[in-house]
């Protein structure tokens, strides 16, 4: 672990039935809320490698790093100063399933316009930002708050 700004990676998996969201449970962080699958970047790990590793660990699916595309970045201020990257998986192998029941208690495919009310706020904002690329700064004092133009 490093002393710098925490970095997270979220992966959008999309198909005809909508986007895949996981309900967090037992983590002490946004438990009971739906979010995109993802996790923290480990020391010496790229964003793509983090996405590949997290999708294998959380969902049991395989993603080729070349099948990942940038959507955008959220720089948010909450209890920490944190940066979250959002990637879209254009393809994957396997059917997503709960592989870490101690961290997730539900999976569901939801239409973009019908996200659950209990979706993590910054994830909802990122999904509303569109196809990208975009950069959102959330939780900061005006005038920094909001989207930075593409």
CATH number at 15 reads: 3.90.79.10
Q: Is the Cα torsion angle 140, 145, 147, 150 positive or negative in sign?
A: negative
| Residue of 74, 99, 100 whose CA lies nearest to 85 | 74
CB count within 10 Å of CB 126 equals 25
1 in any annotated domain? no
Between 80 and 41, the more confident residue is 41
Q: Which domain holds residue 31?
A: 7-148
* Number of domains the chain is built from: 1
What percent of the chain has pLDDT above 90?
72
User: Is 49 part of any domain?
Assistant: yes
In this structure, is residue 31 part of a structural domain? Answer: yes
In whole angstroms, what is the distance from residue 117 CA to residue 34 CA?
Answer: 9
Which of 20, 6, 12, 38 is closest to 96 using CA atoms?
20
The answer to whether the beta carbons of residues 125 and 138 sit under 8 Å apart is yes
For 19, residues 6+ apart whose C-beta sits below 8 A from its C-beta are: 12, 13, 36, 109, 110, 111, 112, 127
2 occurs within a structural domain = no
Span 24-68, pLDDT tens digits: 998 888 899 999 999 999 999 999 999 999 999 999 999 999 999
């Amino acid at each position: 672990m490093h002393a710098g700004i925490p970095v997270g990676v979220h992966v959008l998996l999309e198909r005809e039935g909508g986007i895949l969201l996981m309900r967090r449970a037992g983590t002490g962080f946004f438990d009971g809320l739906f979010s995109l699958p993802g996790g923290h970047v480990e020391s010496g790990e790229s964003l793509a490698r983090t996405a590949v590793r997290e999708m294998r660990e959380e969902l049991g699916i395989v993603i080729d790093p070349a099948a990942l595309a940038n959507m955008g970045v959220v720089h948010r201020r909450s209890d920490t100063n944190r940066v979250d990257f959002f990637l879209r998986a254009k393809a994957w192998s396997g059917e997503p399933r709960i592989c870490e029941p101690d961290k997730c208690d539900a999976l569901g495919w939801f239409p973009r316009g019908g996200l659950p009310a209990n979706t993590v706020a910054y994830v909802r904002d990122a999904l509303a930002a569109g196809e990208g690329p975009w950069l959102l700064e959330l939780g900061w004092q005006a005038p920094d708050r909001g989207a930075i133009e593409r």
